[in-house]
Structure 1
Amino acid sequence: MNQMAPPPKIEIIPPSAPFSEAQRSWLNGFFAGLLSDGPAPLSAEQGAAVLQGPAGDGDDGEAPWHDQTIPIVDRMKLAEGRPLQRRMMAAMAQQDCGQCGYNCHDYSEAIAGKSEARLNLCVPGGKETARMLKALHEELEKAPAAPASPKAAPVAAAPATATEPGRSRDNPIAATFLSRRLLNKAGSEKETWHIDFDLSGCGLDYVVGDSFGIFARNDLGHVDQIIALLGASHITEVRGKTLREVLTTDVSLAPAPDSLFELFSYLTGGAQREKARALAQGEDPDGDAATLDVMATLQKFSNVRPHPEAFVEALEPLQPRLYSISSSHNATPGKLSLTVDCVRYVIGKRKRLGLASTFLAERIQPGDQVKIYVQKAHGFALPQDPKTPIIMIGPGTGIAPFRAFLLDRKATGAPGKNWLFFGHQRSECDFFYADELNAMKTSGLLTRLSLAWSRDGDKKFYVQDRMREVGRELWTWLAEGANLYICGDAKRMAKDVERALVDIVAQFGARSTDEAISFVADLKKKGRFQQDVY
């Protein structure tokens, strides 16, 4: 029996383009998929033109730097020669998480259009994003005014709903903390909490897939240690409040901002001044820059005692934190749940605490009010047709939105099939919501439940390994029109899952690797493959 020759590999992206071999291969596959129904493939020159966009625009609609796994240096290389707003976009964390109040594209457009002056809103991008945006903003200020692109959407304004109380980070509302319960059992290496809020008092609702923004407060013990290092009184008045109040609720005590190093460089001299200047420029003179939060900076420059008002002015505003919602308003109106990993670690001899996670795990008490808002999801939602099957892949706290999806489908009577992949370290102590999920499986709501435990055996076994084991069935679901969702770690898990998905499509869909890559890209384009990653 004669074997058919594989289809010729379409080379759309020229070898001279500023992409790695893997990125060039991905883009070739993507464009090949887009062009598969067309009369003829593009030439390399035409492909480069597609990336560049219309003459004079310099934009590339697919933004090849929009990948959380690419380091910022490489993202900036991919964006070289692009319009300023595209380079600003490349500087961001590429998670479209909404913590800035935008997605990455709209945040960059808002800065470039001068409707947004804040350059430090990208929480996951952190200091390196803020530095890059500052440099690009300086370039923007020096550049002559240019006419807006005819394609550009108005940067103006946020949707009308964003102006309603509780619908944006700029207009939060108070909600009541109800309770928390530990999801891990004895023997776990993790500390994960189920958190409940009462929204009935504020009248706020939400849709599954949305996220919940929380304005946490800094730990009082941490605040008092900083006040002691300043040699100040906690009742010193700053911004119309006491110093203690300002440090608790208004400013970030996490990674020290460049402005704090600049302040210290003005207040000291000699080698200390040079170190402070170097740190303010993003250098690392002593190899400890990555560990310098506000307290560690005060300890490092222990001979510097800035005035409390100047000190506070040098700090960044305290940013809200976003969590995937793990409940359904249709199932439990007026109540909202989260699934939160508590972050605790040690640097040197000092314990460090995750701001919002430890606030929820121990510092807030039932009945307390906290400022919150609902962040509408960007392209992460249940399918419009309730009969559409869904495949959900969410290890660890990535299960949160999928618990919400399942509860919502149960409450609304959606007839579509549901398949959940969940994984963690140990089945005995890390199987979150085990009773709920098993009951859903018994009732038929959860059609399939595929589990993966990385520490139960001699060899680590993850959700992507389980996917490969059941690849034929997974492909059948996709071929029948299922939507696929991923929630969890962006840099490792999400990429490993996508790679497994490509392999499954290639093996069971009888496609070449390039064709499988194109197929997965087409799923994303059609909204059938959605991600909530962080």
Structure 2
Amino acid sequence: MLGRLTDGLDGAGLWWLSGYAAGLARGQALQGRPASAALPAAETAPSQILTIVYGSQTGNAKRVAEKLAAQSEAAGVTVRLLRADAYPTRELKDEKQLYIVISTQGEGDPPDDAIGLVEFIRGRRAPKLPQLKFAVLGLGDSSYPQFCEIGRVLDERLAELGATRLFERGEADLDIDSVAAPWLQRAVEEAKTLATVQPQHSATVTPLRPLQATAPAHDRDRPFAAELLAAHRLTAPGGLRTPAGRDVRHFEISLEDSGLHYQPGDALGLWPQNPPALVDEVLATLKLAGDTAVKVGDDEHSLREWLSGKRELTRLSRPFLAAHAGRSGDDGLKALLDAGNREAMARLFDEQQVIDLLRRHPADWDAEALVSALRPMAPRLYSIASSQKQVGDEVHLTVAHVEYDFDGQTRWGTASNFLSRTAEGERLPVYIEPNERFRLPTDASRDIIMIGPGTGVAPFRAFVQERAEIGAAGRNWLFFGNPHFRTDFLYQLEWQRAVRDGQLQRIDLAFSRDQAQKIYVQHRIRENGRDVYDWLESGAHVYVCGAIAMGKDVHAALLDVVAEHGGKSREDAADYLSQLQQQGRYARDVY
């Protein structure tokens, strides 16, 4: 029976089952109910249960939380591991030990799977927590002004509610392990100390642990060298911004012999290389030799190798800015850092790359100091634009090629430039990043509403392909937007064919620059509000993919729709959408 129960579960599912079983044992201990006759009585004190909750947008917080759970269980601590949206908030008042690992996205926003938990803890319904001992690890990106904001908010709020902070919160930048590793070590030590010794002569329940399933041969740390099969441009020249127009490309990549599998909604992780011209420019500006050997920790490479694929050059970070300000002696940079002007800092991070800072504010750097100060290269995640049921051992991407002028110099995006430089037949280091939050309904008769302007349409290409392959009875409705119909209608022929073949029942378009008044997808949602609300009331799932700002505008439009056509107050409309999120019927993949 246990084999049937666990058959097909991935690592996250097995962790959830482990936590669920531990939670059942915990519930019996809390409520004093007799244990099932099939198991010995559970007399484990509630304080022995360590609850680990994670909120993760791109998978990093999830990975850290899973590592913490594994290390804690190996140390003999009873653990339950839960994603934030699966955590029963009613249990918080009885919680004794709680670790939270949570990321911050955009301008101080929680990850989508943690919105409900964060709102609950910050809200008036949050209980007093004098019995709780806790610790928080925040993950973030220091190129954003509100670095690790959600971790800070939860840490301070839990203390305000009377909980005892076991030790100071951690705040990890993209170099996650430098902060996470010592934080995890301290967390496990504290959990061991708090674990209550079992009373003598009492029977115990051993919590389920993850089964030793076969690990995939390729993952984030062991990417697969995948062949680029094909690439072509989706947009026509002459569109927005430059004479060349927006450059959005379609890539087809082989996963043959990789053993990698994905579902619609998942992302493809790509380890990129910096543009060679940019590496040359940094070396020339600092008058450093690319063949200089540099050792950082146990890793030794030439400086050119470090700058090409192991350090970020297109993303500034606050630590590098501070280090450069100290070396350059530039009063303007020091004043910017000291003032803590978030708007000015955000503008600098948005506009400038490492080379721009080096050129505008000259300073001397030696090779080792430079490599140590730069942030580590991070993989880029792209929503997968294909269904494996239809394309087999391939994965398709929809990528905007980033290239622009700054101070008379050409600047690029790291990964999009890397993809554009890769010739068909060459190899790309990739892996699959599952996204359990962004899944098609298990009931294929459910309707779905897909809102994906620009490259945010990528996962919905996969959704429609998947639903066609399985013969889903539910209806599909797509909202798509971009600047111009003539140049920017991504996958136009495919969508027209899907409508003709009955695979796409509705499509509403918003081409913002084709008329004097700008029209975006949120306007189309409001225009079709009666039908949108009727679909939701009939059980439809709604999905949003694209930029964070767009996601907020779409959310506001959905609030308007629910309030107007459901006859609800703004507060009740917000509760309605929150319920959809908790039911897994309102999912967002925003970045």
TM-score (norm 2): 0.65
| Pair 422,528 (structure 1): closer, same or farther in 2 beyond 3 Å | same
CA shift, 1:118, in A, is 9.1
For residue 223 of structure 1, what is the aligned residue in structure 2? 279
Per the alignment, do residues 472 and 224 of structure 1 end up closer, same or farther by CA in structure 2, a change over 3 Å counting? same
**Superposition pairs of residues 58-457 of structure 1, within 5 angstroms:** 70=108, 88-89=137-138, 119-121=172-174, 146-147=190-191, 163-167=215-219, 169-189=220-240, 190-239=246-295, 240-260=300-320, 271-272=329-330, 289-290=348-349, 291-306=351-366, 308-361=367-420, 363-457=421-515
Distance 1:91 1:78 in 2: 20
The offset of 1:250, in angstroms, is: 1.2
Compared CA separation, residues 405 and 303, structure 1 to 2 (3 A): closer
Deviation track 1:377-413 (CA, whole Å, cap 9, x = no partner) reads 0310100011111111111111000000001111121
From 522, 543, 549, give the equivalent of 1:464: 522
Give SS of 2:497's match: helix
How far 1:309 moved relative to its partner? 2.6
Alpha-carbon distance in 2 for matches of 1:158, 1:311: 42
- Of residues 72, 76, 93, the one that matches 1:54 is 93
Q: Distance in 1 between matches of 2:211 and 2:487?
A: 43
CA contact (8 A) 2:482 2:488 kept: yes
Deviation at residue 217 of structure 1 after TM alignment: 0.3
* Pairs within 5 Å for 1:492-503: 492-503=549-560
Matches of 1:390 and 1:365, distance apart in 2: 37
Q: For residues 427 and 311 of structure 1, what CA distance do their matches in structure 2 show?
A: 46
For residues 264 and 151 of structure 2, what CA distance do their matches in structure 1 show?
Answer: 22
- Cα deviation 1:135-190 (Å, max 9, x = unaligned): x999999999754899xxxxxx99977942333x2232211112211111132221
Q: Distance in 2 between matches of 1:159 and 1:316?
A: 36
The 8 Å contact of residues 164 and 171 in structure 1, kept in 2 or not, is answered as no
Question: Partners in 2 of 1:68 and 1:223 — Cα distance?
Answer: 28
Asked if the contact 1:231/1:305 (under 8 Å) is kept, the reply is: no
2:76 matched residue in structure 1: none
Say if 2:327 and 2:363, in contact at 8 Å, map to a contact too.
no
2:187, 2:402 → 1: CA distance? 43
Residue 225 of structure 2 aligns with an amino acid whose one-letter code is A
Compared CA separation, residues 479 and 52, structure 1 to 2 (3 A): closer
Change (3 A) 1:256 1:405: closer
Q: Distance in 2 between matches of 1:247 and 1:158?
A: 39
| Residues 187/58 of structure 1: CA separation in 2 closer, same or farther (3 Å cut) | farther
More displaced stretch, 235-244 vs 407-416? 235-244
CA gap 1:412/1:300 in 2 versus in 1, 3 angstroms = same
Q: By how many angstroms is 1:242 displaced?
A: 2.7
Contact 2:137 2:170 in 1 (8 A): no
Question: CA separation of 1:302/1:394 partners in 2, compared to 1, >3 Å: closer, same or farther?
Answer: same
**Is the 1:52–1:59 contact (alpha carbons within 8 Å) kept by the matching residues of 2?**
no
* Higher RCO (CA-CA < 8 Å; seq separation 6+): 1
CA contact (8 A) 1:390 1:482 kept: yes
Aligned length: 446
Instruction: Answer whether contact 1:223 1:248 (CA < 8 A) is retained.
Output: yes
Q: How many Å separate the matches in 1 of 2:531 and 2:446? A: 16
Q: Which moves more between the two structures, 504-513 or 369-378?
A: 504-513
Q: 1:321 to 1:296 in 2, by over 3 A?
A: same
Shift of 1:430: 0.9
Cα distance in 2 between the residues matched to 1:358 and 1:518: 42
Give % identity. 31
Distance, in Å, in 2 between the alignment partners of 1:424 and 1:145 is 52
| Greater shift in the superposed pair: 344-353 or 259-268 | 259-268
Question: Alpha-carbon deviation of 1:433?
Answer: 0.6
> Any idea what the Cα deviations from partners look like across 1:432-489, whole Å, max 9, x if unmatched?
1111100110111101111111111111111111111111111121111111111111
- How far, CA to CA, are the matches of 1:278 and 1:339 in structure 2? 41
* SS of corresponding position for 1:309: helix
How many angstroms apart in 2 are the aligned matches of 1:179 and 1:365?
A: 9
Q: Is the 8 A contact 1:260 1:314 kept in 2?
A: yes
CA–CA distance in 2 between the matches of 1:173 and 1:118? 31
Instruction: Render the CA deviation track for 1:193-241: whole Å, top value 9, x for unaligned.
Output: 1111111132322111000100010111111111122323222223443
> Are 1:279 and 1:289, in contact at CA under 8 Å, matched by a contact in 2?
no
Mapped to 2, the partners of 1:430 and 1:474 lie a distance apart of: 25
- What's 2:586 paired with? 529
Distance 2:170 2:214 in 1: 18
**In structure 1, C-alpha distance between the alignment counterparts of 2:352 and 2:133, rounded to whole Å:** 31
Moved more, 341-350 or 209-218: 341-350
CA shift digits 1:305-326 (9 cap, x unpaired): 42x2332222221110000000
**CA distance, structure 1, for counterparts of residue 141 and residue 324 of structure 2:** 28
- Decide whether aligned partners of structure 1 residues 60 and 341 sit closer, same or farther in structure 2, where only a CA change above 3 A counts: same
SS of 1:232's equivalent? coil
Counterpart-to-counterpart distance in 2, 1:144 and 1:392: 42
Deviation of the 1:246 alpha carbon: 2.2
How far apart, in 2, do the equivalents of 1:118 and 1:522 lie?
31
The answer on whether the counterparts of 1:52 and 1:58 sit within 8 Å (CA) in structure 2 is no
Deviation string 1:315-362 (CA, Å, 9 cap, x unpaired) is 22111000000001000111110111122233323322111112112x
Structure 1 residues 390 and 344: CA distance shift in structure 2, 3 A: same
Could you tell me which amino acid in structure 1 is paired with residue 217 of structure 2? Answer: P
TM-score, structure 1 as length reference: 0.72
Label 1:300 to 1:428 Cα distance change in 2 as closer, same or farther (>3 A): closer
Aligned to 2:48: none
Q: Which residue of 2 aligns with 1:506?
A: 563
Contact 2:314 2:412 (C-alpha < 8 Å) held by counterparts: no
Q: Identify the residue that residue 518 of structure 1 maps to in structure 2.
A: 575
Contact 1:163-1:171 within 8 A present in 2 as well = no
CA shift at 1:532, angstroms? 0.8
The amino acid across from 2:174 in the alignment is L
Mean Cα deviation higher: 421-430 or 242-251: 242-251
CA distance in 2, matches of 1:84, 1:428: 59
Distance verdict in 2 for CA 1:86–1:498, change over 3 Å = farther
More divergent stretch after superposition (438-447 vs 508-517): 508-517
CA contact (8 A) 2:228 2:424 kept: yes
Amino acid paired to 1:165: A
- Aligned in 2, Cα 1:498/1:248: closer, same or farther, shift over 3 Å? same
